[in-house]
Amino acid sequence: MTQLYTKVEEKRFAWFPVLLLITVFQIISFIQVILKTEDIDLKTLGVFSGYIVIECLYFLIAWLVTKKTNFELEMIAFFLSGIGLAISASVEQDFAFKQFVAIILGLVGFVVLNLILKDVDLVMKLRMPVAIGAVALLIVNILLASEFNGTLNWISIGGISIQPSELVKVAFVFVGAATLEKLQSARSITKYIIFAVACVGILFLMRDFGTALIFFFTFIIIAFMRSGDIRTIILICAAALLGALLIIYFKPYVATRFATYRHVWDYIDDQGFQQTRTLIYSAAGGLFGVGIGNGELKDIFASTTDLVFGMLCEEWGILLAFVVISCFAFITIYTIKSAKTSISAFYTIASCSAAALLMFQCALNVFGCTDILPFTGVTLPFISRGGTSMICCWAMLSFIKSADTFSAVPSVIKKEVAE
């Protein structure tokens, strides 16, 4: 069937005023970070300046090249990434440069993956090599990783730490959407199920239960997008629950990871130390926060990664924290709207599963910090400090962007349905 690329009537998004507003907000935030330091670090000042320059250049070049204005997703990504950059710099100035490099790599990955996604045939050819590479990467992770904070999910190469499971998230969505793009043979679908089980199983061996849960949730979304069969999804969930119970039975130490759930105040000075402090300091921030760099949570372990939502509430205020959560809700709504006119099932499945992954990961971070859900130690997309996490988030955004970029004119769709 002839593909109809980028034929949607131009949505007039006032990107320049929004960019100006975001830039002013970022400049004010960055200035606060710099003023909190005793000695002005020229390197950090260069990082902040470079971030704003790259941000503005991206939108200018994208507008000149594509002649489009649908930059809503990129605006959100730069807005959230800027907050994360300021938070990282306020805790440790050395973090700022690493986070800045991660954002640049993520942006490059976003652009490159968008180019690859233009050619669905190329995507189909790449799905098997990507799947094999993803499983191999996880196996290498187990062989080379040293235990850190009870898990085996970090590899150190030349002084640089990477988290392979974050990169495999991209492969998981890529392979799943490509495999289920059409009603293919049972053999093809079986291969993807084996791939999914292998990824989740290896993550359990790595004791990275939070990421394993994200992978499983994404698999459910992909499977439902293709089949729409609730009964099948229920059977998959029941099988997963049985598997989890067997793991807890044969590996009792797994249950201890969640022993403090809903009882953090009973372990206020040991297992519940992080969460109780997060709850206390978050509430102390009030609506407008105590000011960037003035909080107490920054001195707690993992303040810029697993507990970053607490820092956001304490130093920036609950109102801004609500804005951040609303950004993820907007991404989800935007994805659902764009998927309706996508020209291929691949773009629909990929965008919806990527948006669901980001939203679910956001929920695990926010609700885990506040003890509404078990604390799994996953990061808050775009905001938490971490190179591979940032690259993964931008890559997920490219899947979502593809559904909007490669869509058909609504009138054309109606005509084809009529014919």
Mean pLDDT over 93-114 rounds to 93
Q: Where are the domains of the chain?
A: 15-418
Of the candidates 91, 56, 92, 100, which has an alpha carbon nearest to the alpha carbon of residue 74?
A: 56
Rounded to whole angstroms, what are the CA distances from 168 to 152, 163, 211, 270, 338?
Answer: 15, 9, 10, 33, 25
pLDDT in tens, 153-197: 788 777 778 888 899 999 999 998 888 776 555 556 677 888 888
Share of the chain above pLDDT 90, in %: 46
At 412 the pLDDT is: 39
Whether the predicted pLDDT of 337 surpasses 80? yes
Q: Which of the four pLDDT bands, split at 50, 70 and 90, describes residue 8?
A: very low
pLDDT in tens, 51-63: 999 999 999 999 9
Name, in order, each residue with C-beta under 8 angstroms of 230's C-beta and a sequence gap of 6 or more: 224
Mean pLDDT over 45-49 rounds to 92
Whether the predicted pLDDT of 103 surpasses 70? yes
At 251 the pLDDT is: 57
